[in-house]
Structure 1
């Protein structure tokens, strides 16, 4: 048991009604999870307002309510804490409740539009191979050294983050690498955490269904760097024009990585093929199994972070050459009749452009490039025609299909994508609503030596339609369809 006053340390409080010298069981922000002697934190969300569930939480046993506004009717046996911001309060209280576990290990956050999962996961791989106990908080999975948990959000809620960090601390984990999303920053999920470092990858058109404008999206990302301490490092991509903006006002020690600009960690692509990359990192040559210029940036960020975290340079280079691609990130197979199929999570215009340009850079142009792509429903609609334009322009054939339509009509989403196709590219495109049929058609269109790109869902093993999730795995489906062609 822990006393209420101890978990309120550093919380911005406007008023207290009741006793803070009481033992509490645990903290919850979902009234359905409340048990006897719990603290209920009322969060104002985009769908519902936790303030409407205060009485329900009390009925289920809550003895403390943290809110931004006192209820009209108060109960004498309940303590009410009026916080300036309950999302912020939840994060700080969660950290205090678990003994501030982020202070017991070296926590590095990775933020940006593209590359977060790859960088965080490969840093986990690298430090694991270097012999350390390591943690990972990513879109794909959560790892407490070797113990794996399923991930549900890019950045989990603040209680979940601290619970996993506490488990890592108790397991002797020394380093943890964490994806930090704009949603997570905006909803204060990372507040109260002690970061050893932050990495900025790039910024492009994404999540404008949530942030409304690109400026708002950019400014939210910057908050992460604003909150880094003077003991932390901030490592940014200097080739992205938003990189320097991230460093304004940060107290952290600042560093940069780049392929095109002068930087602390400078890279040069010497060879780029389907087998991998030959890179020059500062003055050292290294061969990596990852493919494409976007992965050259990812490897540079990993190299820079490893150096800043104290790994010996030659050991870092040796380990870099052994890193394997992340599930659903330029994951490829070559069929028996030499058709190359690539599955990638590219679900933003910039990411799709990067992947297609990478494929076009490494192919001979004697092959046909067939791209299968869709856009998610109930998400930013502005990027749909842009994605259609890029897919049609940079491929020999483009098949527009469903991604995760969610509650939207898949046909309408595809129509939005088609609007971006230029007249000269009309004949290169076709639309097939059923994603499995679209992948099957791409395989049937491909001949020996051709390349198929299936973009948008990457590592996901489901398709979300009308609130239901159905089993769906791009990589397994294309593997099966290509196998049928070989028979």
Structure 2
């Protein structure tokens, strides 16, 4: 148990009714999880308002309630704490409850539209190979050194984050690499965390259903850098015009990386093949199995971060050369018929364009590129015609299909993608709602040496429709379809 006044330390309080010198059990923002002597924090969410459930939480045994608006009826024996912002309060409370575990780690946050998962995961792998105890908080999974936990969001809720960081403290973890999403920043899930550094990868069209404007999306990302302490580092890609924006107000040490511009860390692509690429970083050449300009940027960010954190440069280059691609990020398979299949998480216009540019740069010119792609339901609709345009413009054949339709009709999503197809490309386009059938069709259309790109879901092993998730793994599906071509 914890003393209530201790876990409220640092929270901006507007009013208190009751005693803060009491012992409490757990902290929850979901009233359904509240038990005897717990603290309930009422959050105003996008779908519901936690203030509606204060009474339910009290009836379940809550000893304290933290809220932005005090209820009309307050129960004797329950402490009510009024705050200006429940999300910020929850973040600080959660950190205090778990004894501020981020202070005992070198925690590095990675943000940007694309590359977060690759950079965070490969940093985790590199530091593990270098012999350190390492943590990872990513879209794919959470790692507490060797122990794996399932991930539910790009940036988990603040209680879950601090719980995992506390476990890292117990395991003696020294470094932790954490994906930081714009949603997570906006909802204050990273507030109260002590970052040793932050990395900015790039910024492009995404999440405008949530942020409404690109400027709001960019400025939300910038908050991570604005709040860094002087002792931290801010590492940004300045080939992206938003890189310098991230550095405008930061107190942290400003460090840059680039392939095209003058920067503190510079890289160059010397040779590209389907099996990998030859890079030059800080006048040293290395071969990597990771393909594409976007991966060159990712690896440069990884190299810079490892160097900043004190690893020996030549050893870092050696370890980078041993790294393999992250699941669902330009993950490829070559069938016995010599058909190449690539599965990639590309679910934004920029990511899709980057992947197709990489594929087209590696082509000899005789093979066809067949792209299978969809867009998620209940998400940013404005990117659908843009992705439809990119896929049809940069492929020889494209099949529009379901991604995770969620609560929307797949046919509606596909029609909105079709709206971006130029008349001269319309004969390239097929629309097949069933994703499994779309992948099978792409495999049947392919001839030896052709390249199939299955984009949008990457590492996800499910498909979500109307709140129901069913098993679905793009990589397994395309591999099975190609292996069964002649059966």
Provide TM-score, normalisation by structure 1: 0.99
Pairwise mapping of residues 158-177 of structure 1 onto structure 2 (< 5 A)? 158-177=158-177
Q: How far apart are the structure 1 equivalents of 2:240 and 2:76?
A: 56
Deviations 1:228-274 (A, max 9, x none): 00000000000000010011110000101100000011000001111
Provide the alpha-carbon RMSD of the alignment: 0.6
Deviations 1:142-169 (A, max 9, x none): 1000100110000000000000000001
The residue aligned with 2:467 is 467
The residue aligned with 1:124 is 124
The residue aligned with 1:26 is 26
8 Å CA contact 1:337–1:486 kept in 2: the answer is no
The residue aligned with 2:236 is 236
SS of corresponding position for 2:55: helix
* 2:153 aligned with 1:141: no
Regions of 4+ moved over 6 Å:
none
Q: Give, in angstroms, the shift of residue 430 of structure 1.
A: 0.9
Gaps of 5+ in 2: none
The residue aligned with 2:210 is 210
Q: How far apart are the structure 2 equivalents of 1:79 and 1:114?
A: 44
SS of corresponding position for 1:196: strand
Q: How far apart are the structure 2 equivalents of 1:414 and 1:48?
A: 30
Q: How far apart are the structure 1 equivalents of 2:421 and 2:63?
A: 59
* 2:42 aligned with 1:46: no
The residue aligned with 2:106 is 106
The residue aligned with 1:332 is 332
Q: How far apart are the structure 2 equivalents of 1:2 and 1:377?
A: 42
Pairwise mapping of residues 234-383 of structure 1 onto structure 2 (< 5 A)? 234-383=234-383
Q: Give, in angstroms, the shift of residue 96 of structure 1.
A: 0.5
Deviations 1:73-111 (A, max 9, x none): 111201011111110010100000001000111000000
Gaps of 5+ in 1: none
Deviations 1:346-377 (A, max 9, x none): 00000000000000011111101000000001
Q: Give, in angstroms, the shift of residue 176 of structure 1.
A: 0.4
* 2:189 aligned with 1:189: yes
Deviations 1:311-349 (A, max 9, x none): 000010000000010000000000011000000000000
Pairwise mapping of residues 211-226 of structure 1 onto structure 2 (< 5 A)? 211-226=211-226
Q: Give, in angstroms, the shift of residue 486 of structure 1.
A: 4.4
Aligned length in residues:
487
Pairwise mapping of residues 433-448 of structure 1 onto structure 2 (< 5 A)? 433-448=433-448
8 Å CA contact 1:330–1:343 kept in 2: the answer is yes
Q: Give, in angstroms, the shift of residue 282 of structure 1.
A: 1.5
Q: How far apart are the structure 1 equivalents of 2:309 and 2:277?
A: 24
8 Å CA contact 1:336–1:486 kept in 2: the answer is no
